[in-house]
Amino acid sequence: MSAAHKHTNRLAREKSPYLVQHAHNPVDWFAWGDEAFAQARAEGKPILLSIGYSTCHWCHVMERESFEDEKIGAFLRDHFVSIKVDREERPDVDKIYMTFVQSTTGSGGWPLNVFLTPDLKPFFGGTYFPPDHRHGRPSFLQLLQQIAGLWRERRLEIGASADELHARLELITAREAKADSPLTPEILRHAVALFKDAYDSVNGGFGGAPKFPQPSIPLLVLRASKRFGDDAAKKMVLHTCERMAAGGIHDQLGGGFARYAVDAEWLVPHFEKMLYDNAQLVHLYLDAFLASGDASHAGTARDILDYVLRDMTHAGGGFYSAEDADSEGQEGKFYCWTHDELSKLLSPEEFIIVAEHFGVTKAGNFVDHSHPHPLPGLNVLSIVKPIAEFGPTTAVNLSYTQTGSPLPLGGEGQGEGVAHDQQLLISATQKMLAVRAQRVRPHLDDKILASWNGLMLGAFARASAVLREEKYRFAAEKNLQFLREKLWESPSPRPPGGEDQGEGAAPQTKTGTLYHRWRDGERDQVQLLEACAFLLDGVIHLYEATLNPLHLDFAGELAAAMIAKFYDPANGGFWQTPAGTSDLILRVKDDYDGAEPSGNSVAALALLKLAAITGREEFRTPAEATLQLAAARLQKQPAGLACMLQALDFWLDEPRRVVIAGDASSPKARELLHATHSVYQPNKIILGNNGAVEPFAKTLSSKGEATAFVCTGNACQPPTSEPVRLKENLL
């Protein structure tokens, strides 16, 4: 009988796909919460806190090796209270204990395994622990036995050590603004110089293997190239975009990008696909397209968005979180191909083209070293020989052929003149897609997070305006409706007679509440800064793409809620959680821009933009205080704050304001909107002349058809209704 039939633990009651994956382990798992904490206190046991996420490959490996082991499960039941946490649902919990592990070991990652006292203070931790004795390190069971013995014999010492480590953790996470840290363009210049020094001139990207796209870095470098007239920086970003799009990190058949590549060449990915990566990459490729005019970058952005619409979208409009690296227990099995498999599937002519184009060999280029029986001869597809090198035709983004969609820009008008080799490649990839569709798909993490949905909402909204694609605007609008219905609790009027209500004053309103996760008909009760900040960013993009005043109203509600619940008026910056969150040993300000941007960085830029659109100082003040709080780190450690540096870039100068007066839904207004969005001018804002916009914009009016004004302060260039002239005014 399998372990899945022998055991069922408390995680079977949970909604997190990651927790549910562990519901049939022999480990007596608890979810994070009072039930587990009370049991640890009552029994005087240490806590094993194990943190991961449902598409984490090494989390699967450790589960298979250790948490499905009967002996380990029994030992944990006898000596520990074991808690599982989904880091994507509770990034606040993960942040605290990841900071501990990184500060004590020098590294971190997932799975994250930390040992705590019953009052939740950590005293030892690490990441993946092997099932057997390796390289002088104990097996996981040996480690558990050692810790259980120490807890039994030296509990008071462990408690004292945990108290000391907790005090150190408080110091590490404390953030106070330094008044003597000026915010100047030199901070940007210094940061970009460091990124340029780390640039890989052969493969693109900033740094070596393993290689994460980390879009906030190339997005910043491209912005800085505009500010400083740095053509070399621009070329670095464009080269990086080209190499990533050609690499195995990019799903060459189905679209979308994997989380990272294990090598410097972007060839072999860690195959899971994350919503947050793909959302940020849409913005990067849109910027690359606008900065270069190269339509292939626009094609890559479309490729990502079409993948999300096809494979990552709930019927109601929410976006799912991630797809796994593994299928049928093997990493990459869904995505990879063998030489023999393709030679049998394709005609001889097609096979020759596919093998050359995608670099398919008999030996293969990928081995799943984490599996005891790796599959032989697997090939990750990457573009080794561009289609343009087969003949005198322009390369096409093959994902467009999946559903018969038009070819991207550059492929028009080819008709009968399309090269024979290109036709062979298209027919071959259609066969490959049909076969791949019959394979067992990787696990889909179908929880819907307000934070990551906010990022993707903004990507769809902006792409709809840049690429003139209505289906993307529809997806963004539908997503926002879903989030407001499922995760937003609107503010309600305070009862008459409340505080600070003068005679004749309208009833004041409480701020609304945004919850973080929805899945299977239920939302959680977790409130997080990144949920508010990321969704605020997305809604502002949607407003700028549509000029719908209702979206601007909601942005104002979100910003007010974020400031009320998370802002620290004493020192600046935003806490990750509201005051009074009872299950945390620390209240932390997340200010590291890694694979995901931090809530503080996104909040700062979103509030600066919203303040410029609305003229409301109550939005600008917290953003400026957040920048000041980060000023010293921006100077000394810019690599960890690339997104915050984008906020600084926006703040340094008065933004260009494009005011489109008139009916925003008219064809002329939409032409002007598209023209505005089609110019690479990162420090601009776009607004209409009605609704909650700043007062000066309301004084600008159209005479008949929609009219655009490009303004700085209260000075505007001559108004125009001509898209070409508008673009010239923005250059």
The answer to whether 664 and 548 are in contact (CB under 8 A) is yes
* Torsion (CA) 271, 443, 333, 424 in degrees, nearest 10: -80
The answer to whether 155 and 46 are in contact (CB under 8 A) is no
Mean pLDDT on 585-589: 92
Give helix 599-614 / helix 617-636 axis angle, nearest 10°: 140
3-state secondary structure 347-406: CHHHHHHHHHHHCCCCCCCECCCCCCCCCCCEECCCCCCCHHHHCCCCCCCHHHHCCCCC
Nearest one of 100, 79, 69, 84 to 35, comparing CA atoms: 84
The answer to whether 377 and 362 are in contact (CB under 8 A) is yes
Confidence of residue 393 (pLDDT cuts 50, 70, 90): very low
Mean pLDDT on 576-604: 93
The full set of domain ranges for the chain reads 3-173, 207-408+419-445, 654-731
Q: How far apart are CA 240 and CA 690, in angstroms?
A: 41
Mean pLDDT on 281-289: 98
The pLDDT value given to residue 493: 64
Q: pLDDT tens digits for 617-667?
A: 999 999 999 999 999 999 999 999 999 999 999 999 999 999 999 999 999
Q: What percent of the chain is modeled with pLDDT above 90?
A: 82
The answer to whether 278 and 256 are in contact (CB under 8 A) is yes
Confidence of residue 173 (pLDDT cuts 50, 70, 90): confident
The pLDDT value given to residue 495: 54
Q: How far apart are CA 102 and CA 249, in angstroms?
A: 27
> 371: burial class by Cβ within 10 Å (0-12, 13-18, 19+)?
middle
Q: How far apart are CA 486 and CA 280, in angstroms?
A: 24
Q: How far apart are CA 113 and CA 106, in angstroms?
A: 15
Q: pLDDT tens digits for 22-34?
A: 999 999 999 999 9
The pLDDT value given to residue 193: 96
Q: Which helix (DSSP H) or strand (DSSP E) does residue 715 occupy?
A: strand 715-716
- Amino acid letter, 661: A
Residue 428 phi, psi dihedral angles, 5° rounding = -65, -45
First-to-last alpha carbon distance for the chain, in angstroms, is 69
Q: pLDDT tens digits for 666-703?
A: 999 999 999 999 999 999 999 999 999 999 999 998 87
- Amino acid letter, 533: A
Q: How far apart are CA 21 and CA 25, in angstroms?
A: 9
Tokens 């979206």 correspond to what residue? 551
The answer to whether 645 and 652 are in contact (CB under 8 A) is no
Four-residue CA torsion sign, 283, 288, 290, 293? negative
The pLDDT value given to residue 134: 75
* Domain 654-731 = CATH 3.30.70.1290: no
Confidence of residue 717 (pLDDT cuts 50, 70, 90): very high
Q: pLDDT tens digits for 298-324?
A: 999 999 999 999 999 999 999 999 999
Q: How far apart are CA 288 and CA 296, in angstroms?
A: 9
Mean pLDDT estimate for the chain: 91
Are domains 3-173 and 654-731 of this chain identical in fold?
yes
User: What is the distance, to the nearest Å, from the Cα of residue 155 to the centroid of all Cα atoms in its chain?
Assistant: 41
Tokens 């052969």 correspond to what residue? 202
Mean pLDDT on 566-573: 94
Mean pLDDT on 339-350: 96
Angle CA 99–105–107, to nearest 5: 65
Nearest one of 79, 61, 81 to 69, comparing CA atoms: 61
Q: How far apart are CA 507 and CA 497, in angstroms?
A: 8
Confidence of residue 547 (pLDDT cuts 50, 70, 90): very high
* CB-based contacts of 10, cutoff 8 Å, min separation 6: 28, 29, 30, 31, 35
Q: pLDDT tens digits for 3-23?
A: 446 889 999 999 999 999 999
* Torsion (CA) 308, 311, 317, 320 in degrees, nearest 10: -80
Which CATH number describes the domain made up of 3-173? 3.40.30.10
Lowest mean pLDDT segment, chosen from 359-363, 453-457, 497-501 = 497-501
The answer to whether 226 and 730 are in contact (CB under 8 A) is no
- Cα→Cα distances 713→609, 696, 708, Å: 14, 9, 15
Q: How far apart are CA 444 and CA 129, in angstroms?
A: 26
Per-residue pLDDT at 222 exceeds 60: yes
3-state secondary structure 158-224: HHHHHHHHHHHHHHHHCCCCCCCCCCCHHHHHHHHHHHHHCECCCCCCECCCCECCCCHHHHHHHHH
The pLDDT value given to residue 494: 56
Q: What is the DSSP letter of 383?
A: -
Nearest one of 184, 297, 295 to 240, comparing CA atoms: 297
The pLDDT value given to residue 422: 85
Strand 81-86, strand 29-31: pairing? parallel
pTM, whole model, 2 decimals?
A: 0.92
The answer to whether 66 and 32 are in contact (CB under 8 A) is no
Per-residue pLDDT at 400 exceeds 70: no
* CB-based contacts of 99, cutoff 8 Å, min separation 6: 169, 172, 173, 588
Four-residue CA torsion sign, 252, 257, 263, 265? positive
Q: 661-671 burial string, b = 16+ CB within 10 Å, else e?
A: bbebeeebbbb
Mean pLDDT on 230-237: 98
Four-residue CA torsion sign, 219, 597, 100, 564? positive
Per-residue pLDDT at 502 exceeds 90: no
Tokens 């110019």 correspond to what residue? 679
The answer to whether 261 and 273 are in contact (CB under 8 A) is no
Q: Which helix (DSSP H) or strand (DSSP E) does residue 112 occupy?
A: strand 112-116
Lowest mean pLDDT segment, chosen from 131-140, 209-218, 267-276, 383-392 = 383-392
The pLDDT value given to residue 408: 34
Per-residue pLDDT at 259 exceeds 70: yes
Please count the CA atoms within 13 angstroms of the CA of 579 that sit on its side-chain side. 6
- Amino acid letter, 718: P
The pLDDT value given to residue 508: 44
Q: What percent of the chain is modeled with pLDDT above 70?
A: 92
